[in-house]
A and B are shown apart, each in its own frame.
Chain A
Amino acid sequence: ILNVEQSPQSLHVQEGDSTNFTCSFPSSNFYALHWYRWETAKSPEALFVMTLNGDEKKKGRISATLNTKEGYSYLYIKGSQPEDSATYLCAFWGSGSRLTFGEGTQLTVNP
C-alpha cells in the first residue's frame, strides 16, 4: 500500500496571507508527483506535474517544489485570495500504472 500523506488536513487563512502545504510520498520507485486543485462541486484539475528532483513549478501565485530523495513536495500560495479556497491534492506515480492520491489539504481563505 502506497502512503501519500498531506498536511495540514485543513487550513484557514486571511486574504493576503501566504501559505504552504506538504505532501510526503515514498522515496523509492519515484516516477512523477502531481498537484491538483479541487473546488467544491467541481472536478479536480491539474496544477503541476513534477518529475525531476529539485523541480520547481510556478503558475501565477502558486508554486511547488519537489524533493524525490527524501520524498516530499511543498505547494506554496502567495497572497491568498478567496478564490483560492479549494482542496489541494497531491498524487504519487511510482513504478506501477496507478496514480495514488493523498487525502488533500482543504484551504479556506477568509475575505
Chain B
Amino acid sequence: DSGVTQTPKHLITATGQRVTLRCSPRSGDLSVYWYQQSLDQGLQFLIHYYNGEERAKGNILERFSAQQFPDLHSELNLSSLELGDSALYFCASSGGRGEKLFFGSGTQLSVL
C-alpha cells in the first residue's frame, strides 16, 4: 500500500459528460502529480501541484482542470469527454522535488 488513495477505481461514462477524479496524497506529502496512460502509450504527465499551487503543467487539454485543496487532496476534472479520453489516470505524491513518487492505484476511465 503506497498510502496514496485514488477514487473511484473505475468510471464508465458517456461522451460529452463531466467527471471528477479524486486523490489523497500520502501523509506528509505536499506534492501531487497527475498522469494519464492511454492504450499503448507510456505515462503522460498532466500536472503537478505543490502545497496548493500549480508547479508544472504538461500536455493537459483545456477540457481538463485540476486543483489541490488546503487539506492537500487533489481533484482532476475532465469535461466534454471524448472517446479518446478513455485511459488509466494515476495520481502520485512525493515529499519534494526530485524525491520518489508514490502512486495511487489509478482510475480506469471508460468513455462510451
Binding site for B on A (CB under 8 A): 31-32, 34, 36, 43-46, 49, 51, 89, 93, 96-104
**Interface check B63, CB cutoff 8 A:** no
**Interface check B18, CB cutoff 8 A:** no
- Do residues B101 and A99 form an inter-chain contact, with CB atoms below 8 A? yes
Query: What is the CA–CA distance of A41 and B89 in the complex, to the nearest angstrom?
Result: 13
Instruction: For B106, list chain A residues within 8 Å (CB).
Output: 43
Partner of A98, one of B45, B90, B100, B104: B45
Closest to B97 in A: A97
Binding site for A on B (CB under 8 A): 2, 33, 35, 41-43, 45, 48, 50, 55-56, 58, 90, 97-106
Shortest Cβ-Cβ A-B pairs, 4 listed:
A46-B100, A97-B55, A97-B56, A43-B103
Query: What is the CA–CA distance of A97 and B41 in the complex, to the nearest angstrom?
Result: 22
Query: What is the CA–CA distance of A12 and B100 in the complex, to the nearest angstrom?
Result: 28
Query: What is the CA–CA distance of A107 and B50 in the complex, to the nearest angstrom?
Result: 34
Minimum CB–CB distance from A98 to chain B (whole Å) comes to: 4
Most buried by B among A43, A89, A100, A102: A43
Minimum CB–CB distance from B44 to chain A (whole Å) comes to: 8
Instruction: For A34, list chain B residues within 8 Å (CB).
Output: 100-101
